[in-house]
Amino acid sequence: MYSFFSFGKIPLHESDFEAIIGLTRQDKKNRAGQVRFALLDGLGACRFDVPVTPRDMRAALGYYAG
């Protein structure tokens, strides 16, 4: 939260989504062609190697973009 309040929200447009999703395919956590994230469950709790689909990423980016 600190960086959100310190630096503000990064402008994001739907036209950027596919490029962002494409960049996630280069991440070192990916296995067997699946994009994998480390996702927060709450304070001090995290799940690792969670497969995330392009559809999930579009939904999350759309939520962020507002």
Domain ranges of the chain: 10-65
- In this prediction, residue 5 carries a pLDDT of 65
Separation of alpha carbons 9 and 37, rounded Å: 21
Residues 22-62: tens digit of each pLDDT? 999 988 888 888 999 999 988 889 999 999 999 999 999 99
Name residue 39's beta-bridge partners.
47
Coarse DSSP helix, strand, coil percentages of the chain, rounded to the nearest 5 percent: 45, 25, 30
pTM across the whole model: 0.76
